[in-house]
Structure 1
Amino acid sequence: MSDANDFIRADVPPSGPGCVDCEKIDSWWLHLRRCAFCGHVGCCDDSLHKHATKHAHESGHRVIQSFEPGEDWFWDFATETAFEGPLLAPPRSHPRSQTTPGPANRVPRDWEDQLAGDA
């Protein structure tokens, strides 16, 4: 099996400040994750759509990094382990001014109930 480092390209910037796939469907997210290989930013597994995991499975890009301010952990889907990795190209998180969940203008009032119903 390949090493997780084979799935990290530190020079690739993130695709944007929010979940690329949620933006396409005018949805919202809880937390964000960044593909360490191609920079795709997707929503976490606690979000409604779980776009980061879907991207990993569909693309074969098995390593993600948190895209939350103050978090720098990596996750390898193949080994189901967290690890420390290199600094990725900036920006390394969504803007601190961006709400969590976000984006603020699309988060429904019952967002907690929606996420609890998804469990």
Structure 2
Amino acid sequence: MMETKVCEHLPSPEDLKPAISHVCAKCVAMGSTWVHLRLCQTCGETHCCDSSPNRHATKHYLETKHPVITSAQPGESWAWCYEDQLFMPAL
């Protein structure tokens, strides 16, 4: 069985932030839309994914250096660490 790698930036399971917002506020303010939502595990903000026109989750990382996002999509349980370029399935 293959072991899943976990980066040092990922909070412990009990410290993972839940999705509070189910919109990308930056897209809403611009009158734009998004494809999927991502949740910053440092500050708890919700942003749109890289498949979305504005890529606010990545822009948030580039501006803040907050390293880990998780999916804010219902039924998805994974994380991505920008710092380590590491996908972590099934949290």
Tell me if both proteins adopt one fold, taking TM over 0.5 as the criterion: yes
Contact 2:19–2:72 (8 Å) recurs in 1 = no
Paired residues in the alignment total: 84
Aligned twin of 2:43: 38
Q: Deviations over 1:24-79 (max 9, x none)?
A: 11110001100011111111000000001100110110100011111010000011
- 2:12 pairs with 1:28: no
Aligned twin of 1:101: none
TM-score calculated relative to the size of structure 2: 0.78
Which residue among 65, 68, 71 is the counterpart of 2:70? Answer: 65
CA RMSD of the aligned region, Å? 2.3
TM-score calculated relative to the size of structure 1: 0.61
Could you list the runs of 5+ residues in structure 2 that have no partner in the other structure?
Answer: 1-6
1:14 to partner: Cα distance: 3.7
Could you list the runs of 5+ residues in structure 1 that have no partner in the other structure?
Answer: 87-119
Higher Cα radius of gyration:
1
Q: Percent identity?
A: 36
Kindly report structure 1 stretches of 4+ aligned residues shifted beyond 4 Å. none
Higher helix share: 1
